[in-house]
């Protein structure tokens, strides 16, 4: 998969159907030559170094020019990992502040390693792979002035068109320096003819699709909130103009990180594009002493020659097979009901037992007790940080024993990274929340963020959580995070290291999660952040599912889940049925939630007999469709963002192509309108039967002729599922 030509000094990284080519140029410059559809090894790349205009005022390297390359300019060349202040005026991937007070950085090739498998990154979430499924290239470069030794990591997967990249900056000298900026990935492309795709949003409107024409200058998304955030997801893509689900080239990146980030696309005067992703360098400066190193988060790079659909399916399989914890990726997860929308803070032991009894009756597997079980918490004004049982409200032993005796599992809610001003923990340790001296701390949701960059804080919270989890029979933990970070600072960081805070916080969080998941590997962990405020690949390394949004209204959820599915698999998308309204009934809500992990967010005691029968059928369907949805391939057939956005249609196809679930939902009246759907991903040679349509047809017919759903979905807030099975 990875080859190196000693004569031409060219590396070629071949994945399933793509090639990535790097060259070592005169003077040790590391240049990017090509990324796209697979090509043979040994091609001539000797003329690939030049891009863009030549002018007398563009700096050049004298030694390279004397060596016979008069047209080489660092500012125009396709740099593999561009640095600051040495002739390339485009955005820099690496900038080092040295003891002389300048940030000039210039790295040159030193050596390399190629080996089977993939290394894990210490202290950060990372993908995993064995020696049969991936190979890794380490490109090692040196800045002779600062003595920064920079290792560029590339892991290529045998059966997926994906490359995982990261960078390590070691101090090989005898003087301390500071990393001012360090991207995880840079990709120089020879054109600007792309659509810039990203996912924007806000609370209850997460990961909305945006596709705009790439223009000159820099287009950038990011976060400086201390979390990846509701507002921009750490995913972006460049797609050739005219790209759709099945056609067009796509270059997509996803940062494996849950904190501050930036992803940018810069178009220069030569109409070339630089795509870059990494930690946000705003409020970031990291000290590296002699012998120490700084490691960037991993970033996933995916190439698709067949549109957005293939791009998404690559991400989905990659994350199922190489990111989500192996013990959960292909383990069937329990169908749960959560108490939050049913009771909020108003519950006691008997009410939750009554919920469990009704849940058991309709076939649900697990009851989750949400916020309100700890301290003296009856509203959201107090007790975060006091993770002991609210005994006058709750008998947790009787509750867990009773629920388990019914044959159900039991889950519990935590918000470990928060502290209430009205809490025993805050009164005992008023310096443990995030704050800066002399400024009042900003409250959000009547709470502060606790300082997870501190070992003593993490130890205290871990001990408190363990005292509950070690003594009660708990199967699931919902981990929430309901506000962003302001007044970013720690009582333990001096002025010299203050700008290390945000990343130190993330390192503390990941250290906690690593410890937590090793101690409790049997616990199903679900991340939440005011809904979908931290839905990222960093969390998926510890938590196989993430609450997608606090908004469970199915028409909105079609758009939220559509955007999320561009990068993240259905098995990771927390999706629940909540109480019906005048527009969308339980059937519509069930069909939409079935495209995620599936569960319920309501009081099961309120069901009528008709509704109970419907929910029981949904539970049957959940088990019937589970493998196809969670492990199959997603095909987005009609986008809720297309045209008038009056409908959405998607399907899941099993990997062996023997089964398919097609779901169609309407948002406006489409009565007496032609509604054609062409399926995708089936085997054209197989014959399929659909009981809902009483139809037997070949895969070729279903994909090429399609289906006319005329009057099948006539009214607003309607959805239907259609199950196709191979006729043997």
Does the active-site annotation cover 494?
no
- Among residues 550, 551, 556, 548, the alpha carbon closest in space to that of 526 is found at 548
User: Residue 7 above 90 pLDDT?
Assistant: yes
Q: What is the pLDDT of residue 639?
A: 94
pLDDT for 669 beyond 90: no
With b for 16 or more beta-carbon neighbours within 10 A and e for fewer, the 515-548 pattern comes to: ebbeebeebbbbbbbbbbbbbbbbbbbbbbbbbb
Tokens of 168: 């390590």
Mean pLDDT of the chain: 95
The pLDDT value given to residue 63 = 82
At residue 714 the predicted structure's pLDDT band, cuts being 50, 70 and 90, is low
Strand 194-200 to 599-601 pairing: unpaired
Start-to-end C-alpha separation, the chain: 38
CATH homologous superfamily for 636-726? Golgi alpha-mannosidase II (2.60.40.1180)
d(CA 299, CA 255): 4
Q: How does pLDDT run across 626-642, given as a tens digit for each residue?
A: 999 999 999 999 999 98
**pLDDT (0 to 100) of residue 32:** 97
Dist. CA 332–CA 322, nearest whole Å: 17
Cα-only R_g, the chain: 27
The string of DSSP codes covering 149-207 is EEEEEEEEESSSSEEEEEEEEEE-SSS-EEEEEEEEEEEEES---EEEEEEE--TTS-S
What CA–CA distances, in Å, run from 438 to 349, 390, 435, 703? 44, 35, 9, 66
Rounded CA gap, 326 and 268, in Å?
43
Q: Residue 591: name the closest of 652, 656, 515, 547 by CA.
A: 652
Q: Is the dihedral angle over the CA atoms 531, 537, 539, 545 positive or is it negative?
A: positive
> What does each C-alpha distance from 468 to 129, 249, 374 come to in angstroms?
35, 51, 10
Token pair 């750490």 is found at 234
Q: Which residue has the tokens 């290792």?
A: 151
Q: What is the pLDDT of residues 440-470, one digit of tens each?
A: 999 999 999 999 999 999 999 999 999 999 9
Q: How many CA atoms lie within 13 A of 323 on its CB side?
A: 34
Bridge partners, 651 (sequence order): 635, 662
pLDDT over 70 for what percent of the chain?
97
d(CA 411, CA 479): 11
Contact 338, 601 (CB under 8 A): yes
Q: Of how many residues is the chain composed?
A: 728
Count of alpha carbons within 13 Å of 68, Cβ hemisphere only?
4
Mean pLDDT within 232-244:
97
CA distance 301 to 309: 15
Cα-based angle 503, 506, 509 (whole degrees, multiple of 5): 155
- Is 170 or 642 the better-scoring residue by pLDDT? 170
620, exposed or middle or buried, with CB in 10 Å at 0-12, 13-18, 19+?
A: exposed
When comparing pLDDT for 293 and 607, which is higher?
293
Residue 307, token pair as written in the block: 């549109």
Domain extent listing, the chain: 2-326, 335-486+535-631, 636-726
- Count other C-beta atoms under 10 Å from residue 257's C-beta: 28
Catalytic residue among 88, 281, 386, 480: 480
- CA distances from residue 264 to 19, 51, 252, 552 in whole angstroms, order as listed: 23, 20, 12, 31
Active-site annotation holds for 556: no
Over residues 76-105, the mean pLDDT reads 96
pLDDT digits (tens, 9 = 90+) for 411-426: 999 999 999 999 999 9
> What band does 9 get if pLDDT is binned at 50, 70 and 90?
very high
| CB neighbours of residue 320 within 10 Å | 20
CATH number 2.70.98.60 given to 2-326: yes
Query: Among 180, 281, 382, 550, which one carries the catalytic annotation?
Result: 550
Percentages helix, strand, coil for the chain, rounded to the nearest 5? 20, 30, 45
Q: Match 């089936």 to its residue by tokens.
A: 682
Convert the pLDDT of each residue in 686-708 to its tens digit. Answer: 999 999 999 999 999 999 999 98
Cα–Cα distances in angstroms (integers) from residue 111 to residues 4, 88, 137, 627, 725, in the given order: 12, 23, 11, 46, 54
What does the pLDDT read at residue 69? 82
Confidence of residue 93 (pLDDT cuts 50, 70, 90): very high
Q: Which of 36-40, 46-50, 686-690 has the lowest mean pLDDT?
A: 46-50
Please answer whether residues 194 and 214 qualify as being in contact, where contact means their C-beta atoms are separated by less than 8 angstroms: yes
Q: Which fold has domain 335-486+535-631?
A: TIM Barrel (3.20.20)
pLDDT of 22: 97
The answer, yes or no, to whether residue 158 has pLDDT greater than 70, is yes
**CA–CA dist 412, 477 (Å, integer):** 5
Over residues 307-326, the mean pLDDT reads 98
- From the CB of residue 463, how many other CB atoms can be counted at a distance below 10 Å? 10
Q: Is the pLDDT of residue 487 over 60?
A: yes
408 has pLDDT over 80: yes
Residue 710 has a pLDDT of 60
Are 697 and 668 a contacting pair, CB within 8 Å?
no
pTM of the model: 0.97
- Are 570 and 630 spatial neighbours (Cβ–Cβ below 8 Å)? yes
pLDDT value of residue 668: 75
pLDDT in tens, 507-522: 999 999 999 999 999 9
Average pLDDT over residues 161-171: 98
Mean pLDDT of 266-285: 96
**Residue 202 CB neighbours (<10 A):** 12
User: Where does 526-638 have alpha helices with state H?
Assistant: 537-540, 554-565, 586-593, 609-631
d(CA 231, CA 207): 8
């Amino acid at each position: 998969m990875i080859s190196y030509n000693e004569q031409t000094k060219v590396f070629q990284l071949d994945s399933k159907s793509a090639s990535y080519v790097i060259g070592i140029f005169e003077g040790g410059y590391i240049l990017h030559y090509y990324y796209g559809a697979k090509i043979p090894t040994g091609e001539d790349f000797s003329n690939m170094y030049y891009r863009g205009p030549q002018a007398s005022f563009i700096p050049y390297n004298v030694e390279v020019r004397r060596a016979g390359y008069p047209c080489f300019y660092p500012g125009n060349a396709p740099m593999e990992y561009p640095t600051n202040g040495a002739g390339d005026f485009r955005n820099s991937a690496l900038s080092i502040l040295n003891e002389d007070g300048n940030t000039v950085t210039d790295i040159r090739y030193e050596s390399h390693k190629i080996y089977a498998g993939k290394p894990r990154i210490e202290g950060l979430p990372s993908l995993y792979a064995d020696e049969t499924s991936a190979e890794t290239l380490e490109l090692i470069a040196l800045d002779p002035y600062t003595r920064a030794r920079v290792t560029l990591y590339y892991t290529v997967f045998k059966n997926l068109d994906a490359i995982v990249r990261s960078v390590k900056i070691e101090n090989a000298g005898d003087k301390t320096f500071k990393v001012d900026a360090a991207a995880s990935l840079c990709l120089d492309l020879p054109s600007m003819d792309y659509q810039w795709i990203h996912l924007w949003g806000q609370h209850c409107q997460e990961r909305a699709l945006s596709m705009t024409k790439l223009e000159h200058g820099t287009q950038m998304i990011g976060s400086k909130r201390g979390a990846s955030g509701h507002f921009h997801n750490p995913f972006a893509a460049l797609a050739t103009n005219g790209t759709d689900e099945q056609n067009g080239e796509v270059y997509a990146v996803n940062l494996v990180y849950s904190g501050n980030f930036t992803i940018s696309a810069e178009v220069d005067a030569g109409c070339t594009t630089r795509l870059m992703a990494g930690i946000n360098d705003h409020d970031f400066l990291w000290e590296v002493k002699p012998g120490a190193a700084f490691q960037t988060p991993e970033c996933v790079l995916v190439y698709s020659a067949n549109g957005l659909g293939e791009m998404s399916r690559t991400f989905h399989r990659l994350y199922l097979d190489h990111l989500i914890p192996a013990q959960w990726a292909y383990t069937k997860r329990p169908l749960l009901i959560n108490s939050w929308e049913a009771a909020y803070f108003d519950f006691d032991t008997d009410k939750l037992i009554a919920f469990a009894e009704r849940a058991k009756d309709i076939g649900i597997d697990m009851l989750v007790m949400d916020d309100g079980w700890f301290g003296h918490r009856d509203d959201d004004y107090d007790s975060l940080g006091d993770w002991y049982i609210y005994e006058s409200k709750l008998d947790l032993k009787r509750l867990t024993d009773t629920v388990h005796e019914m044959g159900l599992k039991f889950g519990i809610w935590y918000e470990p990274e928060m502290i209430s001003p009205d809490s025993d923990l805050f009164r005992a340790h008023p310096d443990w929340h995030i704050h800066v001296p002399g400024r009042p701390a900003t409250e959000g949701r009547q709470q502060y963020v606790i300082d997870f960059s501190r070992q003593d804080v993490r130890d205290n919270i871990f001990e408190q959580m363990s005292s509950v989890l070690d003594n009660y029979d708990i199967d699931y933990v919902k981990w929430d995070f309901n506000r962003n970070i302001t007044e970013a600072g720690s009582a333990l960081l001096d002025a010299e290291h203050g700008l290390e805070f945000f990343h130190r916080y993330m390192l503390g969080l990941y250290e906690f999660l690593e410890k937590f998941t090793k101690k409790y590997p049997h616990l199903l962990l679900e991340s939440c952040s005011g809904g979908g405020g931290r839905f990222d690949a960093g969390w998926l390394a510890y938590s196989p599912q993430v609450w997608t949004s606090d908004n469970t209204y199915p028409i909105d959820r079609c758009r939220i889940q559509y955007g999320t599915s561009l990068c993240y698999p259905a098995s990771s998308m927390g999706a629940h049925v909540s109480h019906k309204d005048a527009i969308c009934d339980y059937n519509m809500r069930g069909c939409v939630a079935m495209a995620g992990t599936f569960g319920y967010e309501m009081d099961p005691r309120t069901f009528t007999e008709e509704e109970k029968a419907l929910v029981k059928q949904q539970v049957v369907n959940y088990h019937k469709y589970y493998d196809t949805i969670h492990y199959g391939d997603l095909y987005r057939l009609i986008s809720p963002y297309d045209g008038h956005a009056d409908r959405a249609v998607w399907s899941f196809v099993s990997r062996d192509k023997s089964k398919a679930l097609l779901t169609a939902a309407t948002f406006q009246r489409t009565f007496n309108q032609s509604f054609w759907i062409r399926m995708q991903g089936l085997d054209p040679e197989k014959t399929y039967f659909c009981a809902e349509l009483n139809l037997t047809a070949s895969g070729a017919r279903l994909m090429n002729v399609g289906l006319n759903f005329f009057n099948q979905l006539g009214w607003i807030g309607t959805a239907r599922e259609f199950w196709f099975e191979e006729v043997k």
